Amino acid sequence: MSRIVIFAAGSRGDIQPCVALGRALRARGDEVRLVASARYSPMAAAAGLELAPLTADPAEILESDAGQELLAGGRNPVKFLGGFRRIIGPMAERLLAECSDACKGADLIIGPTLGFLPRHIGEHLGVPWALIHFQPSEPTGAFPHPFVPQARLLGPWANRASFLAIDQIAWQLSRPFINPWREESLGLRRLPLRGERAAGGPVLACFSPAVVPRPRDWAANVNMTGYWFLDEPDWRPPGELAEFLAAGPAPVYVGFGSMVPKDAEMTGMVVRAALKLAGVRGVVQGDPATSDDRVFAVQDVPHSWLFPRMAAVVHHGGAGTTAAGLRAGVPAVVCPFFGDQPYWGERVAALGAGPTPLPFRAMTVPRLARKIRRAVRDQAMADRAGELGRIVRDEDGVGRALRIIDSIR
């Protein structure tokens, strides 16, 4: 039996895969501690995991003025990483202390590349560590970093350079608080000005090779596992939702996850008008009291249950929601806000499982209606989405991750 700590900083789409992995480890007899916002304590408890709560709440951050600026930054890596630095900087010392305390007694530390915390704390404790990649983050000549799509115009060398550039920007923004923490709290040497990539560190890339084909130049330490899904087989829908689904043709789901539009009321009006213009019924993320004969509003329904019952899904392109849509085997309309979301929208379109992305800031009633109509009427798109769904459902991402973890501890 091992004590395993899993960092799961971020929104629900980042948390659920980590909980799925933690639950599988727990089922095998390991002790698993999840480091995440206190908001997710019910999810951790349901999976039998100990929670080490972080005092930063991603939902509150995105609702703040700084969070709204972050959402407005789109795909620009300097704006995105700079905005992230402005938000995290003032609370960095407190959060780093919380992370360090959460790892006491750990035999293995797993977490995302954010700050490379598993590496720093693993070195301090002298225990193995591994990184989680929710999107392609290892340098390759095959394609550019998700934040820098323009690099592909200059070929393989520019593709590879784009990853190194993003690494460097992230390091320069995090170095002012990471290096003092390494030296003063962890007793480690400061890393150099240009940073130091932990070559050979184990990587768990939890996305499907059917969605992102593995580049030939990725090293053996990069393990593509497939997605980690957190299923809730015992979940039962409210009677009103079941009745709505049974009362007509399959509807279209529209929801933007943890993204918090500045004018949520206006966004809701645009969505409902677009569904009406497209001539489809809808299930939308919102207050159930606003439901009517054509649109049913839901607050917390597992995507694993809901998405397969839809004609198509419209979402923000978060890695977790994209995975759920692909697994369901239905076409997806991606309306990205920022970060890696445009990349996932482009992958869905490139695979033929949805139309080209519609950036949220460019979303209008006619544009969204056109995308929805295409998603529900294009039979070739539906066939391709169904084929991808079968491939993704046949993968055992968590099982593959467990075998890799066994090889490094």
If the chain, 409 residues long, is cut into consecutive pieces of 10 residues, what is the mean pLDDT of each piece?
Answer: 88 90 96 93 93 77 55 58 62 85 95 89 95 95 94 94 90 86 92 71 95 96 96 89 96 90 86 98 93 93 96 96 97 94 97 97 97 98 98 97 90
Whole-number pLDDT of residue 174: 84
What number of helices (H) and strands (E) belong to the chain? 16, 12
Judge contact between 155 and 135, C-beta under 8 A: no
- Structure tokens belonging to residue 25: 């480890």
Instruction: Write down the pLDDT at residue 86.
Output: 66
Domains of the chain: 3-201 (3.40.50.2000), 239-394 (3.40.50.2000)
The neighbouring-strand residues paired with 253 are 283, 313
pLDDT of residue 315: 97
Q: Are the C-beta atoms of residues 5 and 21 closer than 8 Å to each other?
A: no
Q: What is the pLDDT of residues 195-243, one digit of tens each?
A: 666 656 899 999 999 999 999 999 999 999 999 999 888 899 999 999 9
For 345, residues 6+ apart whose C-beta sits below 8 A from its C-beta are 317, 322, 334, 335, 336, 354, 356, 357
Q: Say how many Å lie between the first and final Cα of the chain, rounded.
A: 11
- pLDDT of 7: 93
Q: How far is CA 329 from its chain centroid?
A: 19
